[in-house]
Amino acid sequence: DAKTTQPNSMESNEEEPVHLPCNHSTISGTDYIHWYRQLPSQGPEYVIHGLTSNVNNRMASLAIAEDRKSSTLILHRATLRDAAVYYCILPKTGNMLTFGGGTRLMVKP
């Protein structure tokens, strides 16, 4: 998988927006950008994915830079339940996921 770089940790206040960055400068033209999160004591959970255009779903928004070398996961109003490790992943062959270097998001009440 193409290498991704994310901050180790971030803090947010409850009910405020959160912008989680991810750098993927070696991304290829066919690489999709996936975001997963893992809440404490739970399995990973799919959040969102995109290729070139910005994407929105009920959980979050994904903003993709024009050159695709970076992306930002946006949580519009963080809740305590959003405290988790967020992984930015660019799956390759077979869609297997390589987890590593995610961002631990802490949400303060």
Partner 1 sequence: AAGVIQSPRHLIKEKRETATLKCYPIPRHDTVYWYQQGPGQDPQFLISFYEKMQSDKGSIPDRFSAQQFSDYHSELNMSSLELGDSALYFCASSFWTGKRYEQYFGPGTRLTVT
Do you know the residue count of the chain? 109
| Amino acid of residue 86 | Y
Near partner 1 in 46-105, by CB under 8 A: 46, 49, 85, 87, 91, 93-100, 102
Are the C-beta atoms of residues 9 and 53 closer than 8 Å to each other?
no
Determine which residue in the list 11, 15, 16, 45 makes contact with partner 1, applying CB under 8 A.
45
Instruction: Return the number of the residue (42 or 66) whose C-beta is nearest partner 1.
Output: 42
* Cross-strand bridge partners of residue 38: 85
Is 34 among the residues that bind partner 1 (CB under 8 A)?
yes
Residue 82 to residue 66: CA distance in whole angstroms: 27
Question: What is the CB-side half-sphere exposure of residue 5 using CA atoms within 13 A?
Answer: 6
Of 4-12, 20-28, 32-40, 72-80, which segment contacts partner 1 by CB under 8 A?
32-40
Residues that bind partner 1 (CB under 8 A): 32, 34, 38, 42-46, 49, 85, 87, 91, 93-100, 102
